[in-house]
Amino acid sequence: MDDIINAIATDASASEVSDALKNAIFTKAAEKIDALKPGVASAMFDQPAAEVETEVEAEAETEVTDTPEEEEEKE
């Protein structure tokens, strides 16, 4: 921020002042975005543990306990 004030006070060219302002704005925006990324990522891609457990239980229930060969031997 001091760089911007110094550039304006020392009559730096308009492009230098503009570049300094852009850099400051982009830096602040990047910091805010980086702070929000973990929350958004977890909200978008994390699944609640209860849903995962029910899928695993459903798969366990549908497993075949006897192979076709074992069924033929039982008969």
Please calculate the CA angle 60-62-65 and round it to the nearest 5 degrees. 85
Proportion of the chain above pLDDT 90, given as a percent: 37
Give tens-digit pLDDT for 23-40: 999 999 999 999 999 999
What pLDDT was estimated at residue 36? Answer: 94
CB atoms under 10 Å from CB of 8, counted, come to 13
